[in-house]
Each structure stands twice: as structure tokens, then as C-alpha cells.
Structure 1
Amino acid sequence: MVHGTLEVLLVGAKGLENTDYLCNMDPYALLKCRSQEQRSSIASGKGSNPEWNESFVFTVSDHATELVIKLMDSDSGTSDDFVGEATIPLEAVYTEGSIPPTVYNVVKGEHYCGEIKVGLTFTPEVDPKMLLPPSHNIRAFLTLV
């Protein structure tokens, strides 16, 4: 069973399609792992190549199979524009423990619209029962003392 914490390092994105025609985009990311959602800062005026270098921590269990990162363009006065999203499978990080910053495709529907760079680290939760020696070993130790 997988239980623990997932640390996500959101490095940046490149080649995003600009949703603002007259000026640079102000992108931010919504990171979602099952029902948990977190939001990055807004990379004001960074356009198609934003950098965040921000870390986020999620509590995960067996049911968390993927991390979805939705990229948005912050617009004042109107609703924010959807830029695209990346879906990152988590099985490899559960097995390896960490995955260095890696590039993932950002898509809008079926259409490629840039890339995002993300690093992942999984720290398993330690079951306290696994730290104790079997009870018969404790009795043997106490008998000898």
C-alpha cells in the first residue's frame, strides 16, 4: 500500500501558446492530486516561458495515480483563460522515490501547446508497527535482563 507525501517542484514551462493577443500572458498553475488542489503564484508578464521554482506537498495514498497540472492565464476584469494541462503518472515516483525535473507535454484537448518541467519526490509514511521488533523477541530480551 502506498501512503506518504508527494513533493512537487514546479520549475517552469516553455513554448506555451499565448492566450493574450496584445500583451504577454500572466500564467499560473493549478496542481491537483485526487481531491487536493494547490495553486502556484502568477508569473506576471512572463508570457509563454514562465518560471516558478515553487514546491508543493500533497498527502497521497493508493488511490492517487496521477498529478494533473492545469495552466491558466490570469486576466483582470475577465475570467482566466485555460492554456493547457499536463497529466503526470505517479507510479514511477512511488517506485523510485524521486524523479528529477522532467519535461512533460502540455495539451489542450488533443493539441500540443507547450511543455512543463516538474520534479517529484515521494516520501513513504512509516508504519509504527513495522519499527517494533516482534513481541516474542521483547519477551526473550526481558527474560535475559
Structure 2
Amino acid sequence: MRRVKGSSLIRNLRLSESLKKNQLWNGIISITLLEGKNVSGGSMTEMFVLLKLGDQRYKSKTLCKSANPQWQEQFDFHYFSDRMGILDIEVWGKDSKKHEERLGTCKVDIAALPLKQANCLELPLESCLGALLLLITLTPCAGVSVSDLCICPLADPSERKQIFQRYCLQNSLKDMKDVGFLQVKVLKAVDLLAADFSGKSDPFCLLELGNDRLQTHTIYKNLNPEWNKVFTFPIKDIHDVLEVTVFDEDGDKPPDFLGKVAIPLLSKSSAVW
């Protein structure tokens, strides 16, 4: 029995480390879908665009068919310096019967783009006539982290001093996109609902701020889980709302909802978020 418990613990630790690595992005890839140029829509009456980078996906708004559709939409992807990958872009059309058809595609090698500058790209479409005009900016950012409670990043006085200096009044105009950051300590949950037939749950906690998501590891067969984790988010909009949701892990099935709380950032008054 001890061997089973030990191997299970090692497996859970490995899963936890893998989850942690997949959440720690190094910056933001800001993509502005500006417009299409001479796009051939055929018999389609409407058009939209899908953008995919790894498991991150966005869909543009749907516009009436036009050779030069004006989307003017911005999407933020997470930037991983060790696995940038290829941005896949697809243009789709809809006809009057709501049938969807892929009209054309194009790709962008994100790793080949320079950092910290706006890259204006005109991308010819494959499989159909026309091109897409995009603006892509890769901005590295510090502060995103997942750590144990015992090594909380703000526990070090010298680090707190550096943070106060970084966001003091005299430095407030140096980087208009660097609004600040939010640190959340996820300690525990008490008296959760039992989602399994055994009378227990397999809870994990999901934190969402804008388009950013971080989550804890799963604690199996427990209604009073203790995660004791510290999460740090970059703040892009002071009007965002932090949403904290507890789910029950259910294998390959979608997780079951156990509870949720929403906290507007403006409801907090701390100088270091």
C-alpha cells in the first residue's frame, strides 16, 4: 500500500509541476485584426476570422460580406518564450442558411517577430484571393507566477520595496500598459458540495482576470481542500473583475461547478495589487 501511495503522490506532483509550467507565460502577444483586402467570399453573405495559437483560440465578430471587411478587433494571447509556435488564421464565411465554410488561411511564425514593437503584417490568403492586415506586438512581462505560500513573492521586504518604486508616482508614465499586478493567495475551501457518489469531490480552483487564467492543482476526495498557493497576475485594466471558481475534476468529462465569487479590482484599496 505504501508503494501505491508513494507513486500516486509522485504522479500528482508531476502533474502539478506540468500544470504550473503551462500557466506561466512570459508576456502578451497583442494581435489587432485590422481589415481584409480584396477577400473573395464567393456566395457567402457573412465573414469571420478564427485565430489559433496552441490551445489558445479567438473568434472575431461576424461581418456582412465585403471585399474589404473592417474588423478593428484586438486579441491578447499568452506569450511563452520557450514554445512560441505558429499562429494559424482562418477566414470563414456563412451563407443565408447559416452554413459555414472555410474560405482561406494564413500563418505567422511568432518566434520570428521582434519584441516590443508593433509589427504590421499583410498576409496573403491561401485557398482564396485576398489578404488580411494585422498588427502584432510581443510584450514580455514580469510578475506572472504560481508559488507555494511559504515562498510568497511579496514576503521579501526588498522585493516589496522594488515594487513600490516601480509603481510610484514619478514612474507612472514610463509604461502606460504596465498598470500593476494582482497577487492572490488561495488558501482553502470549507464544506464543499459532494460531487461524487463516494460523498467526496475532487476540487480545484480557477482564477480568471480578463483573458488570463491560472488554476490550482486538484486535491482528490476532499470537501475541505487546502491549496496554499499564491498567484500573480499582470493588471491590464483596473476595471477588470477577478473571478474565482471552484470545480470538481471529473476525468475526461467537463468539470462540475461547485461555487464562484467575483471581486472587482476597484473594490481593493491596496497600493500593491
Q: TM-score of the superposition, structure 1-length normalised? A: 0.73
Query: Could you tell me which amino acid in structure 1 is paired with residue 30 of structure 2?
Result: E
SS at match of 1:122: strand
Gaps (5+ residues) in structure 1? 129-137, 139-145
- What's the counterpart of residue 139 of structure 2? 123
- What's the counterpart of residue 244 of structure 2? none
Q: State yes or no: 1:6 paired with 2:33.
A: no
- What's the counterpart of residue 55 of structure 1? 74
Deviations 1:35-79 (A, max 9, x none): 11100001124x221110100011121222221110001234342
| Structure possessing the higher relative contact order (Cα contacts under 8 Å, 6 or more residues apart) | 1
Matched ranges for 1:81-120 at <5 A: 81-93=101-113, 95-108=114-127, 113-120=129-136
Q: State yes or no: 1:37 paired with 2:57.
A: yes
Deviations 1:6-61 (A, max 9, x none): 010000111112221xxx6311100111111100001124x221110100011121
- Distance change (3 Å), C-alpha of 1:43 and 1:78: closer
* More strand, by proportion: 1
- What's the counterpart of residue 69 of structure 1? 89
SS at match of 1:63: coil
Residues 103, 115 of structure 1: 8 Å contact kept: yes
Larger radius of gyration: 2
Residues 25, 48 of structure 1: 8 Å contact kept: no
Matched ranges for 1:128-143 at <5 A: none
State the distance in 2 between where 1:80 and 1:59 align. 28
- Cα-Cα RMSD: 2.5
State the distance in 2 between where 1:74 and 1:117 align. 21
Query: Could you tell me which amino acid in structure 2 is paired with residue 99 of structure 1?
Result: A
Gaps (5+ residues) in structure 2? 1-24, 145-157, 159-273
Task: Report % sequence identity.
Answer: 21
Q: TM-score of the superposition, structure 2-length normalised? A: 0.41
Aligned residue pairs, count:
123
State the distance in 1 between where 2:84 and 2:96 align. 34
Deviations 1:104-144 (A, max 9, x none): 11112xxx52110000111113268xxxxxxxxx7xxxxxx
- What's the counterpart of residue 142 of structure 1? none
SS at match of 2:64: coil
